[in-house]
Structure 1
Amino acid sequence: MNALEVSDLNFSYGSREALRQVNFNLAPGRFAALLGPNGAGKSTLIALLTRLYDLQHGDIRVGSCSLRQAPRPALKQLGVVFQQSTLDLDLSVEQNLRYHAALHGLSRHETGLRVNAELARQGLDERRGERVRNLNGGHRRRVEIARALLHQPRLLLLDEASAGLDPASRLALNRHIRTLCREQQISVLWTTHLLDEVQPSDDLLILHQGRLVASGQADVLSLAHGGDLDTAFTCLTTTGAA
């Protein structure tokens, strides 16, 4: 069973078509990078995946659950880190996590176990009592990742998660997510406009003008469209070649 299936997805803002016949799957335990220039449709796709927007045409399945037919069970299998932080800056790290756990209906005992496990995994155990506003950008991202994993989703969605981080923090975050993907067999959809965040073995999705113009393993796509990722991306987002 795929972690994510997007089928015949179309979406329009009035007369302006934002997504056209978008289809792709994400296998369990895979890291997929979603690339696209500004205006490609990435933000619209993320809004549909997280149900900020209602589906107009097509369907999205997270695991076995359809967002159209069974949105609540589908969303329970999804962990999300948005580009703009949604943490409460005046609460401590642990309080932010416990609030999220309560929203998912976790018991006090289960919450304690999972909070301890995620704080340890993210290297934040000694900072659990600190207010979030006192953390740097990289540590705030780690809190958001811990929060997103508390309810043990099968798919982790990160929307421009490295935005605003310095180069070292950006690299460390990317490596950290890949480690989680490998060790926990969680599927990851990582949206970015930075080509250096993509590795040759990643699944790669390229959006351009609302269409998915390429999908496949990054090194295979690069070889088929010029030999390197930069050339392939330029080719695909200039010509729209399939």
Structure 2
Amino acid sequence: MATTGVLEQGERDEPPGDEPALSVRDLGFSYSGQPVLESLSFVLRAGEFAVLLGPNGAGKTTLFSLITRLYAYRQGGICIGGHDLNRHSVQAHARMGVVFQQPTLDLDLTVRQNLTYHAALHGMAPAEARRRASLQLARVGLQDSLRQRVRHLSGGQRRRIEIARGLLHDPQLLLLDEPTVGLDIASRRALVDHVHQLCREQGVAVLWATHLIDEVHPDDRVIVLHRGQIRADGSVTEVVSHAGSASIGEAFDRLTQGAAR
């Protein structure tokens, strides 16, 4: 169970080229003097799928806003692929892909135009951008949608396009903030399964934020966040055992004291 000692693990000397995809150390953040996140520390490595599980208001979106630099932090540190987010923000961002809670595709552009625009922001030549767009669309099962306008796609298809866009520049880390919001049950299940498959096949580290228990796979790592603090961090089995519960759902309820989801 990794509820303590995470900071020490993150501070170990890493072999060259073996830096964690994401390292969060003693991270704190406040709004108007009120603490929102308190001394968060955890490390996420290549090929690891971690579910950031917390009720609404737990601080999940705030944490993502700090990692993506939508908010600035003064306490603690964040490193992505070995690059300090404050000191080397360009290098850090180049190793990160993001799917935000709110959709961010341009509905009036085609799928290809959305992806190649993103590629241009990362400095890719047009030919390389087209090649990578085709590759990533094939991986998400939408290789025939290149010329379609985004507004004609379903909600689940749009989310897959956003995932393809997030992986276009071969990041080490993929962040997904409540990515199944607004999807039906079948689409949610398909999206969760698909990102797990991408994690296995591409070796990208995934941090998936959610408040929904059914989005947790049995072999996932689970980081339970409640009121700005990490209440548990480990495998599903470890979290269940730590909470003295019979299931991850019961463990979540106990660790968050029945907070509304």
Q: TM-score, normalised by structure 2?
A: 0.90
1:102 maps to 2:120: yes
Q: 2:227 aligns with which of 209, 228, 237?
A: 209
CA deviation after TM superposition for structure 1 residue 239, in Å: 8.7
SS of the aligned residue for 2:55 comes to coil
* Residue in structure 1 matched with residue 175 of structure 2 by the alignment: 157
Q: Match of 2:250, as an amino acid?
A: T
Deviations 1:54-80 (Å, cap 9, x if unpaired)?
112111011110101111100110000
17, 21, 24: which is aligned to 1:6? 24
- Structure 1 stretches of at least 4 aligned residues deviating more than 6 Å after TM superposition: none
Partner amino acid, structure 1, of 2:235: Q
Distance 1:217 1:124 in 2: 32
User: What SS does structure 1 have at the residue aligned with 2:256?
Assistant: helix
Q: Which structure 2 residue ranges, 5 or more long, are not aligned?
A: 1-18
Aligned: 1:68 with 2:124: no
Which amino acid letter does the alignment assign opposite residue 228 of structure 1?
S
Deviation for aligned residue 1:227: 2.3
Counterpart-to-counterpart distance in 2, 1:57 and 1:134: 44
**2:5 matched to which residue of 1?**
none
Cα distance, 1:223 vs. partner?
2.3
**Residues 97-136 of structure 1: matches in 2 within 5 Å?**
97-136=115-154
Could you tell me which of 47, 59, 62 is aligned with 1:44? 62
Matched, 1:194 2:238: no
1:169-227 CA distance string (max 9 Å, x none): 00000010000000011110000000011112111101111111111111211122112
Equivalent residue for 1:22?
40
Of stretches 182-191 and 105-114 in structure 1, the one that deviates more from structure 2 is 105-114
Aligned position for 1:227: 246
Q: Per-residue deviation at 1:45?
A: 0.3
Give the drift of 1:47.
0.4
Inter-CA distance 159–239: structure 2 relative to 1 (3 Å threshold): closer
Distance 1:203 1:119 in 2: 27
Q: Which one-letter code corresponds to 1:217 in the other structure?
A: S
Number of aligned residues: 240
Structure 1 gap ranges (5+): none
Q: 1:179 aligns with which of 197, 216, 230?
A: 197
2:34 & 2:180 partners in 1: Cα distance?
29
SS in structure 2 of the partner of residue 126 of structure 1:
coil
> How many percent identity over aligned positions?
51
